[in-house]
Amino acid sequence: MKKIINDPANVVAESLRGMAAAHPELLRVRTDPAVIVRADAPVTGKVAVVSGGGSGHEPLHGGFVGAGMLAAAVPGAVFTSPTPDAVQAAIDETNGGAGALLVVKNYTGDVLNFETAAELAGIDGVDVRSVIVDDDVAVKDSTHTAGRRGVGGTVMVEKIVGAAADSGADLDRCEELAKRVVSQVRSMGMALTAPTVPHAGQPSFDLDADEMEIGIGIHGEPGRARVPLTSAEDIVQLLLDPIVEDLPFTSGDDVLLFTNSMGGTPLLELYLAHGIAERLLAERGIRVQRRLVGPYVTSLEMQGVSLTLLKLDDELTELWDAPVHTAALHW
């Protein structure tokens, strides 16, 4: 294992200290328990949009804390759900009196711990709602979740609901928007290599040089099929077909296309894949109106790509376009 680290046990804590040093104008970091909070939080009368999960997926979620997106993010250990007390601390730090919306990826530990925190906050009189993101079409069940996993669609939920909250939308409205995005977003990913968790010291699974894994998760879970390595054209087709057929997306639909690096895939290859995806969608009559390309939901240094499609309407498009200023996303 080759990594730029000191002690594997302290990777997350040291990374968070560096993040706080790099972005003091955007966020502040609480270390015990670990919470990343928007610099101006709490904002009186504003719904607090809070998310989180295991570390190792950066910039998800801490990179999306700031104006127009998350009020707070809760980072667990690498590929490990944050504890309920950390989630509750994030709710406390951002409570402006208008309630909190928890954006939760569909992994068993995340769902359980965020729900526990919501119940504890409710006892303290805070109105807390949870929305589960389950956009991964690759599997119905996995070792980490009951039902579909939450992956790239999480970024769409956080951006759109964060914009609504910043515009003054109440908790009911934020919850409705989050559920609408979840119902209209689908994703699928693949890997050329496995990630190496620092405290494990070896790859999460083995792939031969001429193999690839289709339908992987973001915690090093194997996918739905291990197949011979093929061309970028074929890889994009293997990812896009199940996504389009699942919703389904049809001719005339306006969509946001998110082409995501799993951490180790360079932009040279990512843009190549994105161009193929745009062409294949155009051939189906599906109109790409908005785009996001880059490493936004990673799995440490995994080489691979995921595609996410969100069916747009006028309101979702307007909220996606709304100003955002976070460490990882800004316009």
Average pLDDT over residues 176-201: 96
How many Cβ atoms sit within 10 Å of the Cβ of residue 17?
13
Average pLDDT over residues 170-198: 97
Residues labelled catalytic: 57, 219
Rounded-to-integer distance, Cα 311 and Cα 247, Å? 9
Average pLDDT over residues 9-26: 97
pLDDT at 117 over 80: yes
Q: Give me the amino acid identity at 311.
A: K
Could you tell me whether strands 128-133 and 211-214 are parallel, antiparallel, or unpaired per DSSP bridges? Answer: unpaired
Rounded-to-integer distance, Cα 73 and Cα 69, Å? 10
pLDDT of residue 142: 56
pLDDT at 140 over 70: no
pLDDT at 141 over 90: no
| pLDDT, tens digit, 9 for 90 and up, residues 205-222 | 889 999 999 999 898 787
Rounded-to-integer distance, Cα 195 and Cα 217, Å? 11
pLDDT of residue 298: 98
